[in-house]
Amino acid sequence: MDIKYPLKTAYSLKVESLLNALSTDQKNGISGAEAATRSKKFGLNIYKSQKQKSLWLMAFEQFNSPIVYLLFLAGFASLYFKNPVEAKAIFIVILVNGLIGFFMELQARSSMRALKEMDVSYSRIIRGGKKIEIPSEQLTPGDLVLLEAGDVVSGDGRIVHINGLQVDESSLTGESFPVVKTSETLNADTEPSAALNMVYKGTAVINGNARVIITGIGENTQLGKISEMVGRSAPTKTPLDIKISKLTKKLIWITLIMTAIFAVSGVIEKKPWLQILETSIALAVAAFPEGLPIVATVALAHGMLLMARKNAIVKKLSAVETLGGVNVILTDKTGTLTENKIFVEVLSFPGEELNVAIKKGILEYKGARLQKSHENFELLVRIGSLCNDASLEGADKGKKSSGDPIEIALLILASAAGFHAENNIGEFKRISEMPFSSETKIMGTLHKGKTNFFVSAKGSVEDLLSKCKKIQLGSAQGNLDGSGREKILSRAEALSSSGLRVLAFAYLISTERPGDNYLQELIYVGMVGFLDPPRTDIKDAISACHSAGIRIVMITGDHPMTALNIAKKVGITALEDNKVIAGSELPEMELLGDEWKERILSTTVFARTTPKQKLEIVDVYQKAGYIVAMTGDGVNDAPALKKADVGIAMGLRGTQVAKETASIVLKDDSFTSISQAVAHGREIFQNIQRFVIYLVSCNLSEIFIVTLLGFFAQGSMLFPLQILFLNMVTDVFPALALGLGKGDSTIMQRPPRDPRMDIVSSRNWMVILIYALMMTCSVLLSIFLCRIYVGSDVRVINNVAFLTLASSQLFHVFNMSSLHSGMLGNEVTKNKFVWIALLLCFFLIVVVYLFQQSRDALNLDIIPFQAWVLAGLSSMLPLVLVQLYKLVFEKRSIPGRSKKTLVRPA
C-alpha cells in the first residue's frame, strides 16, 4: 500500500487521518517486513553530512595557487635551458610548501575526528505489536516511537499519546526554556517551529513521556532541511586568499614589465637571443619571491598550533589570519554567552523583591537581603521541592541532574538556602499529582504530612492566581482582592518583559484530605524569575573584543526580552539601549531595502531568528564590507557558520553539524578563547605583512641589480641559480623568523585593520622601493670599490655582488622593526628565531664556499680577502642608513603624538 510521504503538515491532521496517510497503527506500529520495504524506498534516517575532502584533493589544493603555477613555469623553463640544478631547487621548494600545508590540514582533520561522538544512538519503538530497540538510522516513516525523559529524538514525529512531555529544542530554535508539548491537532497555517504536537530530530526530551508516529526521516526532517541549507551555502573565499592573490598579480606584472623592458633593449642592442632569454629567466627568478608560499604556510601553521594550545582547533590554515581581521562577531546566545542552564534570578514576594545568585552552592543576594518574607521564602522553597519531578541525586559526585531545568533550578535554590529537598520529600509523602499541561498551565501535588495534608502548586502567574483566595504576608495571611491581583500581574509582566521566565507559587494546608480537584482556594506565596545566566568569563572577553574595535552582535532564537537582558548583562549593548529586532519583523532578503540594511547594521540584538535569517544577516554584513565571524553550537547555526568568513563552533555542547561546518572549533566552548584567537590572528597578519615587505624588497633589489648589470656589466651579472640561492636561503630563513615573532602587548587595543587594505599598502610599496634601492646601491658601491681596489675580473666582481647582496639582505631583517623603536630591545631583536636564522644563513654561505661542487654550481670562486671586506662593509649601508633615519626621527618625535611606523603593523 502506498503511503503519503513526506507529510509537510502532519501537525494539522487528525490522528485517524495521520494513521491512514502513513498506513500505521497507533498501538502496534508497522510490521518488520513493511519497515524493511519502506527503508528501501525512503532510505536510512541519516542526513547528508558534508563530504570530507579526499586526501588526493587535499594534496592537490596545496599546489592550486598562482604562486605555485609561476614556480612550475620557472622550473620547466630551467629544464628547457638545460639547467637541471636550478630546476630541482625550484621543484623542491614547491614540494616542501605542499607537504607543510597538507600535513597541517591533516592534523586538523584528526583533531576533528577525535571530537566526533563515537556512540551509535538507538530508538525504542513498537513494531508488529512488540517493543524493540533499533539503531536510529533504521527508523522509517510510520514507525511508532516511545519517548521518555533523557531521550534524544531520532526523527520528526507527530505525538499521538502524551504525559507531561517537555522537550529542549534549543539546538533548533535557540530557545533556552523547554517546550511543553501537546497531542492536540493544530491549524494548517501553524509554523513548523511552533507545532507543539510535533517532536523534531536532534532535540532532547526533558520531562514526561509520549508515543510518536514518525513523519519525517533523514533529509525530510527539520534538521535535514537545515543541513541541506548548509550544503547550498557557498563557502566564502577568505580575505587572506584574496590579498595574496592580488599581491601575486602585482608581482607577475612587475616581472613581465621588467622582463619586457630588458628583452626590448636587448633586441635594440642586437644582443644574442640566447643571452636575452637567459637574462629574462634570471629576471623572472629574481622578481618572484619563491619563499613566499613556504613562509606564509609556516607562519599560519605556527599560529594554528598556538591556537590549538588555547583550545581552538583550526580546520583550515587561512582561517587563522582571517580571524585576526574580523571586525564583527555574530554570536548565538544559548550555550555560547550563557551557561545553557536555568537558575533563579529574582524572588518576588508581596511587599519585597530580591535579586539573587547561587555561586558555588551558596545563595547570595545582589543588594538588599531578605527582611520580612522569611515565611514566604520557606514556603516557596518547600513548594518548589515538593511540586517537582526533577532529581539532583548524586550531583555532588559528578553525576548529572535529570528533569525539567526549571525544577532542577528550584532544587538547587532549596539546597543553596539550606532547605534540602530530600527532607521535605521525606516529611511530606506525595499521594496525588496534577501534571503540567498546555491547557491548565499549572502543576499541583498533594502530600500527606504527619498531622495534615499539604497542597503545593506552581504555574503561570495568571492561571495560578485564579485558583487563589488568600495571600501569604510573612507570618500572617490576607484576602487576595482585585487590586492585589492586578499588582501581582503587573509585576509579573514587568519581570517577563525584562527577559525572565516567571512562575507563581501557592499552597494549601488542610487537616482533612482534599477532594480530587484540590487546586482550589489556594494561598499565594510569591513568584520566581528564572534566567539562563551569562557565563562567568564572558563579560571580560566581550570587553576585550570591544577594546579591539570588534563589534559583537547577538543573534538568537530566544525571546526578545530575554536576549536583550543577557546582552545588557554581558555588555553587548548599553543599559539604556532597548533596541532589538525580532525575526518576525525582518522582511525577506529580496525585499531588504537600504533603510532595512542600515537598521540591521545598527542593531546589536536579534531574537526569534530562523536559520535562514541568520544566514541573511551574515550576508548583509559581508556586503557592507565587514569581515564576519559567526559563533554557534546548534543545528540552526550551521548555515550561517558556513557563510561567515570564519565559522566558530562549540566543541563540547555543539552539534556535529555545527562542528563539521565551522572552520574553527572551540574545545572549551569559551568565548574567551575567541578573544585570544583574534589576538593570535592579528599577530599573524602583522608578521605576514612584515615578512612580505622583507621578501618583496629583497626581490625587487635583485630585479634592479640584474637589470642594471645586464645593461652595463653583462659578464658580471648574477646567475639564475645564485638568485635562487638568495631567494631560498638568505631571504626565506629571516622571513620565516619574522613570521614566527610575537606581537606586542597593545595588539588588542587597536581597531581592526581596514578589510580593504592589501597586505602591501601603497605606502608600503614606497617603503619597499626605498629599501630595494638602498640594497641595490650597496651592491653597486661594492662593484665600484672592487674595480678600484681588487681588480676588474668579472668572476670576482660577480662574487662580490653576490656576497654583498646576500649580506645586505640578511642585515636588512633588522630594518623590519617599527620606526619609533631603537636598534636594540625591539620586536625583531627580541625574536630568537631571527638570530638563529642569521647564524644559519651565514653558516650556509660559508659552507657553499668550502666545497668545490657547490661553488661550481653557483659559479663562485675563491676570492681575495679584500673582496670579502668590501662586500661586508658595503652590505652594512642599508642598515646604517635606516637606523640613522630612525634615530633622527625619534629625536624629532613630538611627545603625546602617535608615532608612525616604517613597517606599518596591522
Q: List active site positions.
A: 332
Cell of 163: 504525559
The helix/strand/coil state of 833 is helix
Which residue has 681588480 as its cell numbers? 791
Q: E-strand spans in 303-405?
A: 312-314, 328-331, 343-349, 352-359, 362-365
d(CA 706, CA 368): 81
DSSP 893: P
Give the count of beta carbons closer than 10 Å to the beta carbon of residue 317. 25
Contact 523, 479 (CB under 8 A): no
**The residue type at 667:** K
Q: 799 CB contacts (<8 Å, ≥6 apart)?
A: 860, 861, 863, 867
Q: Does residue 895 have a cis peptide bond before it, meaning omega lies within 30 degrees of 0?
A: no
Contact 729, 91 (CB under 8 A): no
Cell of 474: 510573612
Output the CA torsion 536→538→543→549 (10° steps): 170
Q: 256 to each of 262, 266, 281, 283, how far by Cα in Å? A: 10, 15, 11, 9
- List the Cα angle 625/741/701 in 5-degree steps: 80
Helical segments of 178-238, H only: 222-232
Contact 657, 223 (CB under 8 A): yes
d(CA 266, CA 275): 9
Q: 56 — alpha (psi -120 to 50), left (phi > 0) or beta?
A: alpha
Helical segments of 602-655, H only: 611-623, 638-643
Cell of 337: 554567552
Length of the chain in residues, anyone?
906
Quickly list DSSP for 382-412: HHHHHS---B-TTGGGTPPPBS-HHHHHHHH
Contact 790, 707 (CB under 8 A): no
d(CA 39, CA 250): 57
Output the CA torsion 413→416→422→424 (10° steps): -70
Q: Across the chain, how many H-helices and E-strands are there?
A: 31, 25
